[in-house]
């Protein structure tokens, strides 16, 4: 297990500078969010940018995952739109093309551990069963596309979105039923949704857990907080990760702290390093 950081927390930095700063602070992974200023797939020199970024990761010996939550990359007017559950087929196809042709293909080029994505929020009054059918169909298509390229998908339940709880994810996971369709757990989201203890979900889903986001958060409020400002029980979280045998990245996600990115990343490392180190110690807690 190692610590990483999401580039959405360095929105005001050049990507190469962000990676250099994170590597110097001891981070071993980058959760890359392609965005308007970070490896934008709509830029004409995008292929050369991808090649340069691959070289940068190799030089820094950093692993990566691909995150797909850029706020306005696909629609300058509406946050996180369109989605895989949009009403119009052409809108669903636009999101699918971004996730497949841009993100899965990028993951293949960078040898990323997975592509992380979510359902989105409904914008029409269709029945929940209809919306779920849309999502299942698109996830199956995406999983099959990714499987052909040897890429794993990690679906993230997100507060406020159509799939927002672990119970709803379990239904989706069962219906998609693809071996490369796994899970991103955001620790704060579980606290926000009251799905406690966090360790229970980490252990239950250990065979499908391919990506972890971490930050602090309070119950009932979807606000990514600095460590120490929320209610997350980190003893429980890291006991769960140890019991699950988790050996991938734990990525800090503080997208609203880009104005103070360098100090925030440093403070996050100082807070989390002792917890990660404790996982390797013989006397660290486990969940039974």
Summarize pLDDT for 32-78 with one digit per residue, the tens: 999 999 999 999 999 999 999 999 999 999 999 999 999 999 999 99
Give dist(CA 252, CA 265) in Å, integer: 8
State residue 278's pLDDT score: 80
State residue 137's pLDDT score: 98
Cα→Cα distances 59→41, 66, 269, Å: 23, 19, 21
Whether the CB-CB separation of 172 and 139 falls below 8 Å is answered with: yes
Run of H or E residues at 117: strand 115-117
Q: What is the mean pLDDT of the chain?
A: 96
Residue 138: CB atoms within 10 A of its CB come to: 22
Residue 129 has pLDDT above 70, yes or no: yes
In terms of pLDDT, which residue wins out, 281 or 107?
107
| Per-residue H/E/C for 202-255 | HHHCCCCEEEEEECEEECCEEEEECCCCCCCCHHHHHHHHHHCCCCCEEEECCH
Give dist(CA 137, CA 139) in Å, integer: 6
Whether the CB-CB separation of 191 and 217 falls below 8 Å is answered with: yes
Q: Model-level pTM?
A: 0.96
Residue 204: CB atoms within 10 A of its CB come to: 14
Q: What is the mean pLDDT of residues 186-204?
A: 98
State residue 286's pLDDT score: 67
The model's pLDDT over 171-182, given as tens digits with 9 standing for 90+, comes to 999 999 999 999
Residue 93 has pLDDT above 90, yes or no: yes
State residue 270's pLDDT score: 96
Give dist(CA 67, CA 7) in Å, integer: 9
Whether the CB-CB separation of 139 and 155 falls below 8 Å is answered with: yes
Q: By C-alpha distance, which of 124, 121, 133 is closest to 83?
A: 121
Percent of the chain with pLDDT over 70: 97
**DSSP strand pairing (216-218 vs 221-225):** antiparallel
Give dist(CA 163, CA 159) in Å, integer: 8
Residue 130 has pLDDT above 90, yes or no: yes
Residue 288 has pLDDT above 60, yes or no: no
DSSP state of 163: S
Q: Output the CATH code of domain 2-279.
A: 3.20.20.150
In terms of pLDDT, which residue wins out, 211 or 277?
211
What three-state secondary structure class fits 74?
coil
Spell out the domain ranges in the chain.
2-279
Q: What is the mean pLDDT of residues 166-192?
A: 98
Give dist(CA 275, CA 288) in Å, integer: 19
pLDDT tier at 285, thresholds 50, 70, 90:
low
Span between the terminal Cα atoms of the chain, in Å: 20
Whether the CB-CB separation of 253 and 8 falls below 8 Å is answered with: yes
């Amino acid at each position: 297990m190692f610590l990483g950081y999401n580039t959405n927390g360095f929105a005001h930095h050049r990507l190469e500078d962000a990676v250099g700063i994170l590597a110097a602070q001891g981070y071993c992974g980058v959760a890359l969010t392609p965005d308007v200023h970070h490896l934008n797939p709509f830029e004409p020199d995008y292929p050369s940018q991808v090649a340069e970024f691959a070289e940068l990761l190799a030089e820094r010996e950093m692993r990566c995952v691909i995150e797909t939550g850029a706020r306005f990359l696909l629609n300058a007017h509406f946050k996180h739109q369109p989605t895989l559950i949009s009403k119009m087929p052409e809108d669903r196809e636009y999101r699918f093309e971004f996730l497949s042709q841009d993100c899965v293909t990028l993951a293949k080029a960078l040898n990323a551990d997975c592509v992380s994505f979510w359902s989105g929020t409904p914008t029409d009054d269709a029945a929940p069963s209809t919306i779920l059918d849309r999502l299942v169909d698109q996830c199956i298509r995406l999983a099959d596309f990714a499987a052909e390229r040897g890429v794993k998908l990690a679906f993230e339940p997100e507060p406020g979105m159509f799939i927002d709880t672990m119970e709803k994810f379990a239904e989706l996971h069962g219906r998609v039923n693809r071996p490369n369709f796994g899970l991103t757990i955001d620790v704060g989201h579980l606290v926000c949704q009251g799905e406690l203890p966090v360790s229970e979900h980490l252990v239950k889903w250990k065979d499908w857990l391919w990506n972890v986001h971490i930050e602090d958060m309070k119950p009932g409020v979807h606000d990514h907080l600095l460590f120490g400002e929320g209610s997350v029980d980190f003893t429980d979280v890291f006991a769960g990760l140890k019991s699950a045998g988790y050996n991938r990245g734990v990525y800090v996600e503080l997208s609203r702290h880009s104005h103070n990115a360098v100090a925030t990343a440093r403070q996050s490392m100082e807070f989390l390093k002792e917890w990660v180190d404790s996982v390797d110690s013989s006397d660290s807690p486990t969940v039974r």
